Structure 1
Amino acid sequence: MIDPSTYGPTHFRWACADGIATVTLDRPALKNPLTFESYAELRDLFRALVYVPTVKVVIINGTGGNFCSGGDVHEIIGPLTKMAMPELLAFTRMTGDLVKAIRACPQPVIAAIDGVCVGAGAIIAMASDLRLATPRAKTAFLFTRVGLAGCDMGACAILPRLIGQGRASELLFTGRVMTADEGERWGFHNRLVAEDALLDEARALATSLATGPTFAHGITKTQLNVEWAVSLDVAIEMEAQAQAICMQTQDFTRAFEAFAAKRSPVFEGN
């Protein structure tokens, strides 16, 4: 369990106010790359957030006009070339665990993307629930450009669901940059915003979610995840049960009473 008011990570910046946590990758000179340690610390954070209901929404962003340049060439890529298979598999499972943790936490996760968003950075954006980007955002799943397969950290499962099989295949085979305009047109980015308004827009979106029925948001996220691999009949039954659970919350009653009184509901997440 972490205390959002005192949590102090080592490998990225953290701020939390009004139920909105902001995770900032902060190595601007190198376009905010990841290291073995930052991968692990991010994974542990998102695992812990399952048990922190006071955090309602998470924003991920980067400093210096970029989101994330992926794994640090000298601190990750170089050492990987010298590892044996057991060490390599431990690493690839650990990076995949970060995606699992982002998907498994009940909080909606918003990626605020500016500039370079490549490799593992593109994966973190992909794993987020919502993506806001600037017109200069450049997203690339560039694993093939370093001699690796495009099937990294769940990319072959998640990316086609966001942008379609053909478009995902092109990006994963070629490693080319997806422009911001393409990303918005294809449905990867929810919308494009001006560079100087990116964080404000992300916070406004986060606030709208944090003041909503947050328990129900967690149920929605769960269903978006688990319904990937079930039949329509099973999905409809799962949603029937999920919605019945939400109907027992006080937020459901608050919404009805507010509607009846012709006022806006005040949700409390229970």
Structure 2
Amino acid sequence: MRHLPGQPQDLPGNRASLGHYAARHFLFSVDAGVATLTLHRPERKNPLTFDSYAELRELFRALAHADDVKAVVITGSGGNFCSGGDVHDIIGPLTQLDMPGLLAFTRMTGDVVKAMRACPQPIIAAIDGICAGAGAMLALASDIRIGTARSKTAFLFTRVGLAGCDMGACALLPRVIGQGRAAELLYTGRSLAGAEAERWGWLNRLVEPEELGDAAQLFATGLASGPTFAHGMTKKMLQQEWNMGVDEAIEAEAQAQAICMATNDFHRAYHAFVAKEKPQFEGN
């Protein structure tokens, strides 16, 4: 696969623009600081392939260096989010691999989640219809989930004889909905419908299907116009503090906040407050 912009060997100053990146295995565009990534195989409910996994991993790694992207929306086309790994393109071939090959694959899929959690931009998942298996993990690795009442989320791994611990599910899902509810979904593989998903805290909000795209874009645009350096720091601390004690977390936050206080955005906010104006953040 060709190098994406954002690889250190390609970048002066280790910064890059992704506005003109031409995705090969999904749709991708950047507008007003918001990158929209659309899984686009509607005839199969947008399943993932070996190639799309690899491109997702490299794209989210590149986003760590993209100075023209302030927030990300990930969604699917044709009324569905993602049906998981493609049965014919992935599941079948996996039955023919040896252990080193299987481990290489499972590490690659996990690297997608690692890259999503490591990129500084907030990620908003816009979920309609089927959101299953690896697709549910893409939604779980996002920061915000906006969905519809007709959405159906399922961690299907046990339905095909696999453990429910795929791609970090056993670590991340309890953080979102709690240990007991996570255990129920991961043991049974049952579907979580939209209204229940909102009650459980899986979805941040419910909207009508025809409003989903606009709602996700509006949320992302609001974040993109905000103090994006501070948003990146917030995301980093949400990730790091899970493995810290309270005293460690308080000290880490003291350091993180002191760094943010040295930014121009902090000074812009102060001067705007004094002038009784709305601050215009620039992400630095």
TM-score interval, normalised by the smaller of the two chains: over 0.9
Match of 2:121 in 1: 107
1:9 counterpart letter in structure 2: A
- 2:234 and 2:17 mapped to 1: Cα distance? 25
Aligned residue among 175, 178, 185 for 2:192 = 178
Which deviates more, 176-185 or 27-36? 176-185
TM-superposition CA deviations, 1:182-205 (whole Å, max 9, x none):
111111100001100101000100
What is the match of residue 172 of structure 2? 158
1:84 aligned onto 2:131: no
What SS is found at the alignment partner of 2:146?
strand
Match of 1:18 in 2: 32
In structure 2, the residue matched to 1:56 is 70
Q: Output one character per residue of 1:134-181: Cα deviation in whole Å (capped at 9) or x when no partner.
A: 110000000000000000000000000100000000000000001111
Give the alignment partner of residue 67 of structure 1, picking from 75, 81, 94: 81
Q: What's the counterpart of residue 8 of structure 1?
A: 22
Instruction: Work out whether 1:31 is the aligned partner of 2:45.
Output: yes
Distance 2:52 2:260 in 1: 36
Cα displacement (A) at 1:3:
3.3
Task: Report the alpha carbon displacement of residue 5 of structure 1 after superposing the two structures with TM.
Answer: 2.5
For the residue of structure 2 that corresponds to 1:176, the secondary structure is coil
Aligned to 1:240: 254
For each residue in 1:216-238, what CA deviation from the matched residue of structure 2 results, as whole angstroms up to 9, or x when unmatched? 00000000000001100000000
Count of aligned positions: 270
SS in 1 for 2:165: coil
Deviation string 1:73-98 (CA, Å, 9 cap, x unpaired) is: 00000000111000000000000000
Which position in structure 1 is the counterpart of 2:229? 215
* Contact map agreement 2:17 2:67 (CA 8 A) in 1: no
2:106 counterpart letter in structure 1? T
Aligned-residue Cα RMSD (Å) equals 0.6
| Partner amino acid, structure 1, of 2:198 | E
Secondary structure of the corresponding residue to residue 188 of structure 1: coil
List gaps (5 residues or longer) in structure 1. none
User: Structure 2: which amino acid aligns with 1:116?
Assistant: I
For residues 91-170 of structure 1, what are the structure 2 equivalents within 5 Å? 91-170=105-184
Tell me the secondary structure at the aligned position of residue 28 of structure 2: strand
Q: Distance in 2 between matches of 1:84 and 1:111?
A: 34
Please say if 1:42 is aligned against 2:56. Answer: yes
Correspondence for 1:194 among 192, 200, 208: 208
Task: Name the CA distance, whole Å, in 1 between partners of 2:19 and 2:106.
Answer: 32
User: Shift of residue 6 of structure 1?
Assistant: 1.7
1:4 CA displacement: 2.0
Please tell me the residue identity of whatever aligns with 2:184. E
> Which shows bigger deviation, 88-97 or 177-186?
177-186
**Percent of paired sites with the same residue:** 66
**CA shift digits 1:112-140 (9 cap, x unpaired):** 00000000000000000000001100000
Give, in whole Å, the separation in 1 of the partners of 2:97 and 2:106: 12
The SS at the match of 1:253 is helix
Q: CA deviation at 1:242?
A: 0.1
Match of 2:153, SS? strand
Q: Secondary structure at the match of 2:167?
A: coil
Shift in Å, 1:9: 1.0
- Hey, what's the Cα distance between the residues in 1 that align with 2:50 and 2:266? 43
What residue is the counterpart of 1:229 in the other structure? 243
Structure 2 unaligned residues grouped into runs of 5+: 1-5, 7-15
